[in-house]
Structure 1
Amino acid sequence: MGKLQKIEGPSADYDSELRLLQIELVKAQRQIISSGAKLLVIFEGRDTAGKDGTIKAVTEHLSPREAHVIALGIPTAHESGEWYFQRYVAELPSSGEIILFNRSWYNRAGVEKVMGFCTKPQYDQFMATVNEFESLLVGSGIQLIKYYLDIDKQEQVRRMESRKTDPLKQWKVSPIDQQAQKKWKAYSEARDLMLKKTSTADAPWTVVDANNKKLTHLNLIRDLLSRVNYPDKNQKILKLDSGIVMPCPPLRKKSPKVAP
C-alpha cells in the first residue's frame, strides 16, 4: 500500500449527517432482529487509528441487548492451551445479534507476529486456516464484514502525543503502542501480507483511510449500511468517498488441475 493521503477537515454538517446514518443503523438492526440474521463486524487497524471512536459511532443508538462490542484481553494460561479460534467462537453472534470485534483473531497476523508473541509455526498455522474458518462462519449464516483502519506515520505520532497529555486517554497508552513507531515497517509488511492472503470472496477486507476521524465514521457507516439488507433504506445518504473506503480485491483461488 502506498502512503495515505491526508484528508482535510470534515463538513460542518457532521453531526446532522451522523444522526441520519445512525437512524439507518437502527432501521438495519430492527431488520436483523426481526429476521434472525447474524452480523459480525471486525475492526482491525494501526494503533491509534480510531477503532474505539468508530465503533462508538456505530453502536451509540443501537439496542445494547442485541449489539455487543467484543474486545478480548490477553489470553489466560488456560486459553493459551486451547484451539486458537476457540475463545472467539464463544463470542460469535446468535440469531438477531450484531457483534463488533474491536480487534479479533487477526491479532495473530499483526501484533503477535510483529511483537514476537507467537511462534512462526503458530503464525503459519493461522494464515493457513483462517480463510477456511471464515468460510465456515459465512456458510453457517453469519454475515462477516472486515475493516482495516489505516493512518499515516505522522498522524500516528500526533495521536500518541495527544494520548500522553489527555487525562481522559491515559488508559489507552500501553507499551505495545509505544513500539508502533519503532516497528512501523514491520507492521506495514504484516498488514500487507494479511490483506493479500486473507481477503477472500467470502470475507473480503475493506481498508479505510482513518486520518480524519469524522470522515472515517461517516464513510465506514455508509459502507456498512450498503452491505446490510433492510427495508426503506435511504440510498441518498450512502454515497461513499472512494478515497476513504477502499475494498481489497479478493484472493484468487488456484484453478483445479485438469487431468490430461
Structure 2
Amino acid sequence: MTAHTRKATLYRMVMDDHICPFGLKSRDLLKREGYAVDDHRLTTRKETDDFQAKYNVETTPQTFIDGERIGGHDELREYFGKPVNDGNSVTYQPVIAVFGMAALMALGLSWAAFGDFLTVRAVEWFIATSMCILAILKLRDLESFSNMFLGYDLLAQRWVRYAYIYPFGEALAGVLMIFGALMWLAVPVALFIGTIGAVSVFKAVYIDKCNLKCACVGGDSNVPLGFISLTENIMMVAMAIWMMVK
C-alpha cells in the first residue's frame, strides 16, 4: 500500500469557542502527504479530557497512522521529515520581510509619482519606509524591545529612558523623510540614533564578541545581532547625510 492510499486518524479540538490551529495544520499536512484523514472532532472539554486520559497524552491534536500514535503537529512534521521550529531557532525571515516589503512600496511610490521605478527618490523612500516599519515592530511591544535593546546599546545602558525614546525617534525621522519635510529635525535625529546604534552594535558583535539577539524587529525576535543590525543603523546615517547634502 502506498502513502497515497494510506489512512490516518486525527483527533483534534473543535469547540464553539476554540478551534485548535495545530489540528487544522495536522489535517492539512496529512492531506498534502496523500493521506485520507479520519477526522475525529473533540467538541467538548470532557471529550478532550477523556481522550487525553485514554491515550495518556497531555495535548491535542494527536495523529495515528497504521495504528501507531505519531503525536502532535511537531511530531507529525518530524515523521514526514520536515523541519520543526522550536521557537528558539535563529532566523532572518522578519528582516527579509521588512526590507522586501519596503523595497516594493518604494518602487510603487516611485512609479506612481514619476512613472519610473529606478529613481533617487525610490532609494530614499526605501530607507525611510524601512525605518517606519522597523519602528512599528519595536513599538508593538515597547517593554520587550527595551529589555533586548538594553543588552547592547551603549547610550541606553547609561540612560534607560533612551530605550523607550529610540523607536519614536526612528519613526519620526522615517515619516519626515518620506514627506521630505522638516529636514532640520529629521536629519539630526536619524544621524544621532543611527551613529549611536552603529557604534553599539559594532562594539557588541565585533569587539566584545557577544552572542545576542537583535531588537531591530522588536523584542521577541530570534534575529541575531550582527551585520543586519549594523546595516539598519548605517542606512539611517547614510540617509541623514544624503538628505543634508543633496
TM norm structure 2: 0.24
Decide which structure has the larger Cα Rg and report it: 2
Name whichever structure is richer in helix by fraction: 2
Give the number of the structure with larger relative contact order, counting CA–CA contacts within 8 Å between residues 6 or more apart. Answer: 1
TM norm structure 1: 0.23
